[in-house]
Amino acid sequence: MKGLIFLLLLSFIWIGSIICSAWRPPAVPQEMPAFAGSEACKSCHRDIFNDTRHTAHYLSSALPDDAHIKGSFAAGKNEFVYNQWMVLVLEKKKDLFLQTAYMNGIPTEQRAFGLVIGSGRKGQTYLYWDKNNLYQLPVSYYAPANDWCNSPGYPLNYIRFYRPIPATCLECHASYAAAQVKKDGSTSFNKKSILYGIDCERCHGPAAAHVAFHTQHPDEKAANSIISTKQLSRQQRLDACALCHSGLRKQLQPAFSFTVGQRLDDFSVPNYDVDTAGGLDVHGNQYGLLTASKCFKMSAQLDCSSCHNVHINERHDMATFSQRCLNCHATHDTCTVKASAGVMLKDNCIDCHMPQLPSKKITLKLASATAVTPDLVRTHRVGIYP
Q: Which is nearer to ligand HEC, 102 or 292 (CB)?
A: 292
Q: How far is CA 206 from the centre of its chain?
A: 19
Q: Which residues contact 345 (CB under 8 A, 6 or more apart)?
A: 332, 335, 339
Total of chain residues touching ligand HEC, rule CB under 6 A:
103
Beta strands, E only, 177-254? 179-181, 187-189, 195-196, 250-251
Helix (H) or strand (E) holding 171: helix 167-173
Site membership for ligand HEC, residue 316 (CB under 6 A): yes
* Rounded-to-integer distance, Cα 374 and Cα 75, Å: 27
Site for ligand HEC in 143-172 (CB under 6 A): 165, 168-169, 172
Coil vs helix vs strand at 106: strand
Q: Least distance to ligand HEC from the beta carbon of 51, Å?
A: 8
* Rounded-to-integer distance, Cα 235 and Cα 326, Å: 23
Site membership for ligand HEC, residue 69 (CB under 6 A): no
Site membership for ligand HEC, residue 251 (CB under 6 A): no
Site membership for ligand HEC, residue 64 (CB under 6 A): no
Q: Which residue blocks in 225-298 are alpha helix, DSSP H?
A: 234-245, 286-291, 294-297
Q: Which stretch binds ligand HEC (CB under 6 A): 21-29, 80-88, 205-213, 366-374?
A: 205-213
Site membership for ligand HEC, residue 70 (CB under 6 A): no
* Rounded-to-integer distance, Cα 319 and Cα 142, Å: 27
Site membership for ligand HEC, residue 360 (CB under 6 A): no
Site membership for ligand HEC, residue 125 (CB under 6 A): yes
Residue 230 burial by CB count (10 A; 0-12/13-18/19+): exposed, middle or buried? exposed
Q: Which of 98, 145, 274, 335 binds ligand HEC (CB under 6 A)?
A: 335
Site for ligand HEC in 268-297 (CB under 6 A): 282-284, 286-287, 290, 294-295
Q: Least distance to ligand HEC from the beta carbon of 157, Å?
A: 21
Site membership for ligand HEC, residue 88 (CB under 6 A): no
Site for ligand HEC in 102-121 (CB under 6 A): 117-121
